[in-house]
Structures are given as C-alpha cells and as structure tokens.
Amino acid sequence: MINHLKSSPFDIEELNKFFVQLEERGEDYWNELLSNTVNDEAIEVMVDHIQNFYGVEDDDEASLLTQIMLTGFLAGLKMNHK
C-alpha cells in the first residue's frame, strides 16, 4: 500500500489543505462535511466494523475511532474529487 501511495498522483498539498481547513473551521465544518456525505446507516456500519473487527467494546472508544475513520474517509473523498 505504501508503494502505491508513493507511485500514485497523491497530492500531499491538497491533503494538508484539507486538514488545515478542518482545524481552522472546527467541529461545525466537520459535521457539515459529514452530513453532506455520509448517512447514519453508513456511520453505524463503521461503528459495527470497529467493534467487531478490532474488538472495541467501550462506546466512547468506538465513537472516537469512528470519528477518526470518518475523517480519513472524508479526506480520501476530497483527494479524489478536487
């Protein structure tokens, strides 16, 4: 996978810009991106995956890991839809 990222037309500047925007605009911006992209059912699928695949039983931990997964998902979408 690392070799694929190194050889693909991966724009690190766009990725950095995405994360800077998240940091500058805050949680409301992240929630807006999320609500425009992913529905509740998809979020539940991610939560279930984290709980089942990684064995996470604590709801707060599963929630945080889901937020991290969703941020990566949004970043990936942003990178593919410039």
Q: Is residue 5 part of a domain?
A: no
Q: Is residue 6 part of a domain?
A: no
Q: Is residue 56 part of a domain?
A: yes
Q: Which of 70, 18, 17 is nearest to 45 (CA)?
A: 70
Q: Is residue 26 part of a domain?
A: yes
Quick one: pLDDT at residue 37?
Answer: 93
Give CA separation, 44 vs 38, 40, 47, 50, 66, in Å: 10, 6, 5, 10, 9
Q: Is residue 33 part of a domain?
A: yes
Specify the higher pLDDT residue, 14 or 81: 14
Q: Is residue 55 part of a domain?
A: yes
Mean pLDDT value across residues 11-32: 92
pTM: 0.79
Q: Please, where are the H alpha helices in the chain?
A: 2-7, 12-25, 27-37, 40-54, 59-80
Report the number of distinct structural domains present in the chain: 1
